[in-house]
Amino acid sequence: MRTFTLSERLGAASNVLPTALYDTFPAVLLGRVLTIASRLGLFESLNDHPQTARELASALGLHPKSAELILPALETANYLDRRGEQFHLRPQAKKWLVKSSPHYLGNFLAYIELLHDHWAHLENTIRTGKPPSTYPETFTDKEWQIYTLGMMDLAKLIIPRLMRELRIPAGATELLDLCGSHGLYAIELCKRHPHLKATIADFSQVLATTRRIVEEHRMEERITLMPCDVTRTVFEPLRHDVVLAFNIVHGFNEEANRRFFHTIGATLKRGGIVYVMDQVLPETRSGVRTLLPLMVGINLLNEIGGTIYSFEQIRAWCQGAGLTGTAKRSLPLPGLSLVSARRGN
């Protein structure tokens, strides 16, 4: 987050302060410091009790000079507060960066650490329009776990609002969660709809972690895991009342998405509904709701050769697959949208 003072904000607004200096150096380095601090247990240690820089360095095995630089930096960024010589967690850190918090994002920060390494070849991706390799080709089992748990952190942020937006057809019994990853969306819907059963289709490397999550929620009897590549799988025709396609279309090119929506249309029962959740190309040109989807698009290009699409493009794919009534609603995370469409009777 930017930590400009009022005079600095005024300087930026009047083009006296060169914001490019901030965006290319301290902002980038602060993100790296946050991910390392989270992995080393800095926020957990301060949550146990306030400490001086020297005490924290001793507790975490850091060089004292490092702690004397990192802690004031995190204080300036509004994650810590200092009283005398001791550092305390501020609400921003206590809510998002402590494991015992229901809003914990530490798993997502661990995934961001993976991305830091991948950004080393971003220039080559920008020049060629594709990454040297995609993460499904290179991820280790441990990296798949980090990815899946990171996506689960984001899902926890989204679920409270998302569940109010999802309309499950009366009498629905079969749900298909495509690339369902952690499985939380299917788990939550099954909890809310006692007659609903779900199939989560994803790579086998992902489902190793999904299986443990399903077991933790005691949903083994109602949720089936289907290891597969969803782009090469034909699902049973007219089988499903609801299909979830969350954070998927950004990974495919347009032709692959056209085929993908035909697959969805074929497996939906008549009157069934598909929900697509993704970063959607913004219609405005300012603010975080515009910047974040574009940054997500650049990262997707670098990770899997993906991109972000407009609502009109998604609607066209739905219509081409015989799905009608396409509608879009915004969700709490900036740029994130929920698109729905139905198969006709």
The pLDDT tens digits of the residues spanning 311-343 come to 999 999 999 999 999 999 988 777 789 999 999
Cβ contact 293:285 at 8 Å: no
pLDDT at 120: 94
**CB 343 within 8 Å of CB 298:** no
Please say whether the dihedral angle defined by the alpha carbons of residues 154, 249, 110 and 293, taken in this order, is positive or negative: negative
- The domain limits of the chain are 6-98, 156-343
Which range, of 30-44, 64-78, 182-196, 289-303, averages the lowest pLDDT?
A: 289-303
Asked if residues 197 and 203 have their Cβ atoms less than 8 Å apart, the reply is no
Secondary structure (H, E, C), the chain: CCCCCHHHHHHHHCCCCCHHHHHHCHHHHHHHHHHHHHHHCHHHHHHHCCECHHHHHHHHCCCHHHHHHHHHHHHHCCCEEEECCEEEECHHHHHHCCCCCCCCCHHHHHHHHHHHHHHHHHHHHHHHCCCCCCHHHHCCHHHHHHHHHHHHHHHHHHHHHHHHHCCCCCCCCEEEEECCCCCHHHHHHHHHCCCCEEEEEECHHHHHHHHHHHHHCCCCCCEEEEECCHHHCCCCCCCEEEEEEECCHHHCCHHHHHHHHHHHHHHEEEEEEEEEEEEECCCCCCCHHHHHHHHHHHHHHHHHCCCCECHHHHHHHHHHCCEEEEEEEECCCCCEEEEEEEECC
> Which pLDDT does position 305 carry in this prediction?
93
Q: Is the pLDDT of residue 220 over 60?
A: yes
Q: What percent of the chain has pLDDT over 90?
A: 83
Residues belonging to the chain:
345
For the cut 50, the answer to whether the pLDDT of residue 76 exceeds it is yes
Averaged pLDDT, 235-260: 95
**Whose CA is closest to 231, among 213, 249, 218, 209?**
249
Q: What is the mean pLDDT of residues 46-56?
A: 97
Tens-place pLDDT, residues 104-160: 999 999 999 999 999 999 999 999 999 999 988 899 999 999 999 999 999 999 999
**Residue 92 confidence class, pLDDT cut points 50, 70, 90:** very high
Q: Which residues make beta-bridge pairs with 321?
A: none
**pLDDT tens-digit map of 12-30:** 788 887 888 888 888 899 9
What is the predicted pLDDT for the residue at 88? Answer: 97
- pLDDT at residue 250 above 50? yes
Bridge partners of residue 330, in order along the sequence:
337
Give the pLDDT of residue 2: 58
Q: How confident is the model at residue 218 (pLDDT cuts 50, 70, 90)?
A: very high
Contacts 24+ apart (CB under 8 A), 127-132: 129/301, 129/305, 130/301, 130/305, 131/301, 131/302, 131/303, 131/304, 131/305
Res 266 pLDDT > 90: yes
Q: Which of 265, 269, 274 has the alpha carbon at shortest distance from 239? A: 269
Is there a shared CATH topology between the 6-98 domain and the 156-343 domain?
A: no
**Amino acid found at 164:** R
Could you tell me which of 161, 163, 46 has the C-alpha nearest to residue 99?
46
Average pLDDT estimate for 219-230: 96
Q: Is the pLDDT of residue 201 over 90?
A: yes
Q: Which of the residue ranges 76-80, 128-132, 190-194, 285-289 would you say has the lowest mean pLDDT?
A: 285-289
Distance of CA 72 to the CA centre of its chain: 29
Residue carrying structure tokens 């996506």? 151
CATH annotation of 156-343: 3.40.50.150
**Which whole-number Å values give the CA distances from 340 to 51, 84, 245, 344, in the listed order?**
50, 54, 10, 13
Q: What are phi and psi of 167, to 5 degrees?
A: -115, 110
CATH of 6-98, one of 1.20.1250.20, 3.10.129.10, 1.10.10.10, 3.40.50.720: 1.10.10.10
Residue that is written with structure tokens 């702690």 in the block: 67
- For the cut 80, the answer to whether the pLDDT of residue 211 exceeds it is yes
pTM, full prediction = 0.90
Closest among 317, 323, 228, 219 to 267, alpha carbons compared:
323
- Average pLDDT of the chain is 93
